[in-house]
């Protein structure tokens, strides 16, 4: 049996730590301990937190996009497409708020220095994925790409609020399902 590649093993360990200890537990030292190697071995593959996050982020973004596309494949155009999309994206992120934080909040807090080639390469990989998501949603909403971006952003904002409440151990008065349906109602004009 082949042994896993070190870079893939590092990513698996980082995801496991994220799932069990939360975002605060993910560090190069923690990964090195579980890997049974030095911190330098981890840094060889992922020299910055940005590089590690990028390697974790892209598969998650692909999975999020696939959840949205799957919902759109089974929905006609218009309101039904928005309903299916919002429910699918919300459910995807509500299943793992730590993953959501790593995807959408952590990158905002990491400092970039100068012209980071890793960041440029990362962005070049992200754009085709988000383009696929927004184009498909826009196609189901009369071709309005701005509306597609706004719908996705609204779902992410709602999930962020639940993530904040969760991290403060201060539950919201309304459930995830109630808020998802309220958002759908607002986005579709339904009463």
Neighbours of 173 (CB within 10 A): 7
Residue 10 sits in a domain whose CATH number is 1.10.10.60
Cβ proximity of 176 and 162 under 8 Å: yes
58-79 confidence digits (pLDDT tens) = 999 999 999 999 999 998 888 9
Q: Which two tokens stand for residue 185?
A: 């109602």
d(CA 190, CA 135): 24
**pTM here?**
0.84
d(CA 136, CA 70): 10
d(CA 23, CA 21): 7
Confidence of residue 117 (pLDDT cuts 50, 70, 90): low
Residue 107: per-residue pLDDT: 74
Q: Which two tokens stand for residue 164?
A: 């904040």
Range of the domain at 84: 48-188
Residues 161 and 73 in one domain: yes
Of 47, 63, 80, the position where a domain reaches its end is 47
Distances in Å between the Cα of 119 and the Cα atoms of 30, 75, 88, 116, 180 are 24, 35, 29, 5, 33
């Amino acid at each position: 049996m082949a042994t896993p590649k070190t870079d893939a093993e590092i990513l698996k360990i980082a995801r496991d730590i994220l799932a069990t200890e939360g975002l605060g537990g993910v560090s190069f030292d923690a990964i090195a301990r579980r890997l049974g190697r030095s911190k330098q071995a981890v840094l060889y593959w992922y020299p910055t937190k940005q590089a590690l996050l990028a390697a974790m982020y892209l598969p998650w973004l692909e999975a999020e996009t696939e959840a949205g596309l799957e919902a759109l494949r089974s929905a006609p155009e218009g309101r039904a497409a928005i309903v299916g999309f919002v429910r699918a994206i919300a459910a995807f992120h509500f299943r793992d708020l730590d993953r959501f934080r790593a995807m959408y909040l952590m990158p905002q807090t990491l400092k970039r220095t100068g012209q980071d080639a890793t960041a440029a390469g990362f962005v070049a990989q992200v754009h085709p994925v988000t383009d696929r998501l927004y184009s498909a949603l826009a196609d189901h909403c009369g071709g309005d790409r701005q509306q597609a971006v706004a719908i996705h952003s609204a779902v992410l904002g709602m999930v962020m609020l639940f993530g904040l409440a969760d991290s403060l151990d201060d539950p919201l008065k309304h459930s995830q399902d109630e808020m998802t349906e309220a958002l759908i109602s607002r986005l579709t004009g339904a009463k």
